Homo-oligomer: A and B are copies of this chain.
Amino acid sequence: MNEIKIFSPATVANVSCGFDVLGFCLDNVGDEMVIKKTTEKGVKITKIVGANLPFETQNNVAGVAALAILDAANADFGVEIEIYKNIKPGSGIGSSSASASGTVFAINELLGKPFNKQQLTLFGMKGEAVASGTEHADNVAPGIFGGFTLVKETTPLKVVQLPTPSELYATIIHPQIEIKTSEARAILPKDIPLSKAVKQWANVGSLVSALHTSDYDLIADSLNDLIVEPYRSQLIPHFDEVKAAMMNSGALGGGISGSGPSIFSLSKGKETADKVADAIREVYSKTDIEFDIHVSKINAQGIKIVKN
Contact = CB atoms under 8 A, between A and B. Distances in A.
- Number of chain copies forming the complex: 2
A89 B204 CA distance: 32
A152 B202 contact: yes
Nearest to A212: B212
Interface string A72-106: 00000000000000000000000000000000000
A18 B201 contact: yes
B192 A197 contact: yes
Given A190-B193, A193-B191, A198 B152 contact: no
A21 interface: yes
A221 B21 contact: no
A20 B202 CA distance: 9
B160 A205 contact: yes
Contact of A212 (B199, B201, B209): B209
Contacts of A160: 205-206, 209-210, 218
Interface of A: 17-22, 150-153, 158, 160, 162, 188-194, 197-210, 212-213, 218, 221-222, 227
23 contacts: A17-B201, A18-B201, A21-B201, A21-B202, A22-B205, A150-B202, A150-B206, A152-B206, A153-B199, A153-B202, A158-B206, A160-B218, A162-B209, A188-B194, A189-B194, A192-B192, A192-B194, A192-B197, A197-B197, A197-B201, A204-B205, A208-B212, A212-B213
